Homo-oligomer: A and B are copies of this chain.
Amino acid sequence: MTEVEAKKPQESLQDRLSQVIDLLHRHKLVEDLTHRQEGHHHELVENLVHRQNLAELQRKLDELHPADVAHILEALPLNDRLTVWQLVKAERDGDILLEVSDAVRESLIADMDDHEILAAAKEMDADELADLAPELPRDVVHELMESLDAQQRERVRSALSYEEDQVGALMDFEMVTIRDDVALEVVLRYLRRLKELPGHTDKLFVVDYDGILKGVLSIKRLLVNDPEKLVAEVMANDPVSFHPDDDAYDAAQAFERYDLISAPVVEKNGKLIGRLTIDAMVDLIREESESEVLSMAGLREEEDIFASVWKSVRNRWAWLAINLITAFVASRVIGMFEGSIEKLVALAALMPIVAGIGGNSGNQTITMIVRAMALDQVGTGNTSRLLRKELVVALINGLVWGGVIGAVAYGLYGSWSLGVVMTAAMTLNLLLAALMGVLIPMTLVRLGRDPAMGSSVMITAMTDSGGFFIFLGLATLFLL
């Protein structure tokens, strides 16, 4: 049974989460009882049960991979999360902190005193410290830096000097470097002396005496070639490498495209300073797609689903406020035509159809374009072609679906001219949606903004106000 569990990490992960929640509930139930019952005898018994539950929970947690503990912490509301966090062995704190999301990490660190934080940080590598540092209290960071040796301190400083989305902020410093004038045999003996290789070591970095990168020796080649050969004969001379100020997303795409496991990071003069590994790139790919989804919906950042109400309100505030303004504008557009609506109240019932379908269609277009932009498929060369295609699709959809809804309007209100206005308005609004669906993300990119940012809110604003104006305007011109 245990073997099967170990081989299906995902299934057992859900099981484990349930087990932890179950143990927590039993723990709380006992606490409630203890509070209610005042008799000394009862208290003793329940304390015992209570402690047994916690001990079992602790044992469960000790068996888990830090990434699994992190997952459980993220899926628990704040109170339960901190109960579990206090049960985790101190020496594992560091590993787990590195695995949780930023929002959850903040809640965990807030629960630790300086001494605990320092202990957790002691085991970390320079790049991990740099990850953590921005969220730590300033005096803790100071004390931490003091405790490092000069090289480590320099590395942390260097990693901290780059923006979050630059290669320099994601590189690590653990790598094996070799010279090119030795035999593979010597390399093999050297590795054996190291006792342990850094994670994701699929290649060794070949440098000269000044630390300039000359090539890479893949472990695969090291293993299959004659041990008497020299490194220089076997190594690849022109590996894919990155500069620390390169865009991290571009690096992630290169990892994906060329199926890399690790790659060297070099300074402008060719000096090797670190490496990127696939695990950091996978996290980045995941984060990138998350932030795309979130920003399309007008959410500012990843929200811990158990974040406090106040935090959630703040996260959603900005775009709701913008939406309020756009909705108000749409409302004023309708206000301009109040006279028409008073004369023909059917307009009020039909206008949201025009606006709604336009919004939906525009969202489809903008989603496509934002996707294609993220994949670097949209350049200056093909904008007009894309726009033309979207407009033709919109025209077809407008005539077909607009025709259907026009017929329905005729059926409901018995006016064929109302039906024609409906069809025309739908078609025009879908064309507007297509135009804006292409132009909004293109404009955002040209302004140096994220094309996904609130794009859904903006396109809906356009198709609402536009749809009302087109439909009510046509109706006023031709029906009244």
- Interface contact B305-A192, CB-CB below 8 Å: no
Rounded to whole angstroms, the CA-CA distance of A312 and B242 in the bound complex is 38
The stretch that binds B, out of A41-49, A133-141, A146-154, A358-366, is: A358-366
- A195 adjacent to chain B (CB < 8 Å): yes
- A480 adjacent to chain B (CB < 8 Å): no
- Interface contact B397-A320, CB-CB below 8 Å: yes
> Which B residues are in CB contact (< 8 Å) with A238?
3, 6
Known contacts being A285-B282, A286-B285, A321-B401, is A393 close to B312, with CB within 8 Å? yes
- Contact partner of A389 (CB less than 8 A), chosen from B241, B312, B376, B386, is B312
- Contact partner of A256 (CB less than 8 A), chosen from B261, B283, B298, B355, is B283
Known contacts being A266-B7, A286-B289, A357-B320, is A257 close to B71, with CB within 8 Å? yes
- Interface contact B357-A9, CB-CB below 8 Å: no
Q: How many residues of A contact B (CB 8 A)?
A: 142
The stretch that binds B, out of A26-34, A85-93, A245-253, A440-448, is: A245-253
Rounded to whole angstroms, the CA-CA distance of A256 and B285 in the bound complex is 11
Known contacts being A68-B257, A293-B371, is A330 close to B352, with CB within 8 Å? yes
> Which B residues are in CB contact (< 8 Å) with A261?
200, 202, 261, 278
- Contact partner of A352 (CB less than 8 A), chosen from B313, B331, B346, B371, is B331
- Interface contact A464-B342, CB-CB below 8 Å: no
- A119 adjacent to chain B (CB < 8 Å): no
- Interface contact A243-B8, CB-CB below 8 Å: yes
The stretch that binds B, out of A12-20, A53-61, A110-118, A120-128, is: A12-20
Rounded to whole angstroms, the CA-CA distance of A259 and B282 in the bound complex is 9
> Which B residues are in CB contact (< 8 Å) with A364?
297-299, 316, 319-320
> Which B residues are in CB contact (< 8 Å) with A367?
293-294, 296-297, 299
- Contact partner of A353 (CB less than 8 A), chosen from B191, B266, B330, B456, is B330
- Interface contact B250-A368, CB-CB below 8 Å: no
Q: Which residue of B lies closest to A197 (CB)?
A: B220
> Which B residues are in CB contact (< 8 Å) with A290?
289, 371
- Interface contact B316-A361, CB-CB below 8 Å: yes
- Interface contact A382-B77, CB-CB below 8 Å: yes
- Interface contact A393-B316, CB-CB below 8 Å: yes
Rounded to whole angstroms, the CA-CA distance of A286 and B287 in the bound complex is 11
Known contacts being A297-B364, A357-B324, A361-B316, is A77 close to B278, with CB within 8 Å? no
- Interface contact B327-A356, CB-CB below 8 Å: yes
- Interface contact B328-A405, CB-CB below 8 Å: yes
- Contact partner of A65 (CB less than 8 A), chosen from B242, B258, B279, B368, is B258
- Interface contact B309-A396, CB-CB below 8 Å: yes
- Interface contact B199-A286, CB-CB below 8 Å: no
- A341 adjacent to chain B (CB < 8 Å): yes
- Interfacial residues of chain A within 367-408, with CB under 8 A of chain B in the complex: 367-372, 375-379, 381-382, 385-386, 389, 392-393, 396-397, 401, 404-405, 408
- Interface contact B225-A201, CB-CB below 8 Å: no
Rounded to whole angstroms, the CA-CA distance of A240 and B10 in the bound complex is 10
- A132 adjacent to chain B (CB < 8 Å): no
Rounded to whole angstroms, the CA-CA distance of A303 and B389 in the bound complex is 13
Give residues in A with beta carbon < 8 Å to B: 3, 6-11, 13-14, 17-18, 21, 65, 67-68, 71, 74-77, 188, 191-192, 194-197, 199-202, 219-220, 223-226, 238, 240-243, 246-247, 250-251, 253-259, 261, 266, 278-279, 281-283, 285-286, 289-290, 292-294, 296-299, 303, 305-306, 309, 312-313, 316-317, 319-321, 323-324, 326-328, 330-332, 334-335, 338, 341-342, 345-353, 355-357, 359-361, 363-364, 367-372, 375-379, 381-382, 385-386, 389, 392-393, 396-397, 401, 404-405, 408, 412, 456-457, 460, 464, 468
Instruction: Beyond A327-B356, A345-B348, list 9 extra A-B contacts (CB 8 Å).
Output: A21-B379, A74-B377, A75-B377, A75-B379, A75-B382, A313-B397, A319-B360, A328-B353, A328-B408
